[in-house]
A and B are shown apart, each in its own frame.
Chain A
């Protein structure tokens, strides 16, 4: 922790020092999120999602009973930051890896952490079939509509008109096909218990996303079936915007195609909801 290096008057500084004491601590990084600086770009949504997962595992007291499966993509190094046991899967194969871990260790909390290329493109078969079998796992799906790690190429979820390195004039349906809605697909599958789309761009959104992750994890442990939590996120570097502008762009454009909310919750209704 740094010093209170603020441009404050000595008297003010003293008052601040009085506030900064363990009994007054109301919010800090969860202990499971370790001290390593994350490799993500400034403002990247992955950091918030990592933090929420760490908080939920911590609050559920499941640190020693969790197996995380990290993907290929920007989050490949998720295992460096959250202090639980991890296995790093091949591109798209995380749900198959998690299927075996959960079936062989029924009392463990097993989740995958996947991006849009990993889940919505190369790993579509593994994702759909794990969800459809009703594997008692949770898939955390971070959708920022671009391939971040390889340098900003078109993703299966790239919006029409959106410019990337491999569709420099913008995605065109006749050339590149349409952006895929994996979460809507997942909601149609009988094996899924809870399918939701969230975001992490504001305080209320983050609070909701955390509740969604908690619910999904609890479902997995209760044996209710598969859970998919999509987080619509930003990629400031790939989108070539400041984090603040990226959030605004996401609200305006991404949410218009990827509607935020619960698509299916078998506790409430067996049938998927049309958003």
Chain B
């Protein structure tokens, strides 16, 4: 047998000449080149004294770039090398259950909007809820804690340490393909914008409920609609939009949860249910949606082949959920793809409702709780002989711009009624293209306008 016992092969193109292998070598076998460099311009490691190599692998162990392979002649008695442990790794963490509770009669029940959101989440196959208490939405998490869905459907419920953590849990859960939801109120939603932007950028589905309260800052715990701009413009950094659904009743609170999940997964994007303290706290009759089982792993993988959960890695290759791309050409391409997706959403997902617009001279545009008040204002105005119709956008983004433009053609004026200082009014003005006057009426500070005020504002600002 030759006196040479070992040999080192350096992947020259990976080597960065850091010298750590040279230092680690106990037999001074290795050295760095002095004149020669690799294709990246680095000097590299080589066997300067091949005679002395004992195949100890020290160089390969310390190499930060994994560029060294070590070979060693083995004595005849050597045991075969163990390539990998054939140990079956069994998880000690209990698997999630997935039982659909026996369906009770779908009866009419009385509950708060926030409670309806929680019940609907469990019933529509939601896999996880992550939230942080804040008024006026805390009943969502409280109701889930009482329903204990982890014992029935297997839905995970977790009180996070902050809204920042909650939205990042949403990003994490959604990134693995699960149906996940969070809820908060204005101040907390402001904190979540980082995560919402990440979700939009990395195309991660998820449902965010915003039970709005007044601002700015800590503001008030009373209802408001002053997050309209934040919700409909994306809210965080970068060019993106979030689909925004605005329920106007406890029934819609329940119904929109499943619709929001469907949209979120159809387009791989975050969807917001933008409601407020009125709808969240108000008790109304509601028929809860029927139970739908959570998806099995096979169903999830079929629906979300992009998700980062390890399933089928060898067949499909690595899945990476990220919003990062440093190559500007690639990043522009990615942004254009996102914009194309948003355009598709805008073309296909506009939802709205009209009431009494056929013979109307004046139009009130209002969403959510303001629409409920405006409906009453409409009938009061008609009692006074003013023909008023109501247009209620259900999707605030995409905004029903063309529909408002069309319907306003026969109107003399439009009043937007929002519980804010005037935010949607700009979208309505853009929609009607300055053909008719568009005025705004709203109350601030947590005051909910009464229908009489709305009629008075309409008369004063438009009818005269």
Contacts and interface: CB of A to CB of B under 8 A. Distances in A.
Interface string A13-29: 00110111101111111
B323 to A, nearest CB: 7
A36 to B, nearest CB: 9
B419 interface: no
A269 interface: no
Interface stretch (A42-50, A150-158, A178-186, A260-268): A42-50
B141 to A, nearest CB: 15
Contacts of A51: 63-64, 66
Chain A interface extent, by class: 35 or more
Contacts of A87: 171-172, 175-176, 202, 308, 320-322
A64 B319 CA distance: 11
A6 B44 CA distance: 12
B198 interface: yes
Interface stretch (A97-105, A165-173, A250-258): A97-105
Interface SS of chain A: helix, strand, loop or mixed?
mixed
B10 interface: yes
A129 B313 contact: no
Contacts of A62: 89
B168 A93 contact: yes
Nearest to B204: A87
Contact of A1 (B9, B55, B87, B93): B9
Contact of A85 (B48, B85, B178, B310): B310
A221 B48 contact: no
B168 A90 contact: yes
Chain B interface extent, by class: 35 or more
B308 A86 contact: yes
Contacts of B221: none
Interface string A68-109: 011000001001000111111110010011111111111111
A121 interface: no
Question: Which of A87, A126, A242 is the most central at the interface, judged by chain B CB atoms within 10 Å of its CB?
Answer: A87
A206 B91 CA distance: 27
Interface SS of chain B: helix, strand, loop or mixed?
loop
B153 to A, nearest CB: 13
Contact of B64 (A25, A46, A99): A46
A27 B116 CA distance: 59
Contact of B9 (A15, A20, A100, A103): A20
Interface string B82-114: 001111011111111000000000000000000
B162 A125 contact: yes
Given A62-B89, A67-B310, A93-B168, A88 B9 contact: no
B62 A107 contact: no
B24 A203 contact: yes
B296 to A, nearest CB: 13
Interface of B: 2, 4-7, 9-14, 16-20, 23-24, 40, 42, 46-48, 50-51, 55, 57-58, 60-74, 81, 84-87, 89-96, 127-128, 130, 156, 158, 160-162, 164-166, 168-173, 175-176, 178, 180, 194-195, 198, 202, 308-314, 318-324
6 contacts: A20-B71, A48-B62, A64-B310, A85-B313, A96-B160, A100-B172
Given A29-B69, A33-B66, A47-B65, 18 more contacts: A2-B12, A16-B50, A19-B71, A24-B72, A24-B74, A26-B81, A44-B18, A51-B64, A64-B312, A79-B318, A86-B308, A90-B168, A90-B195, A104-B96, A106-B91, A126-B165, A221-B90, A243-B18
Closest 4 CB pairs of A and B: A47-B64, A97-B172, A43-B18, A223-B92
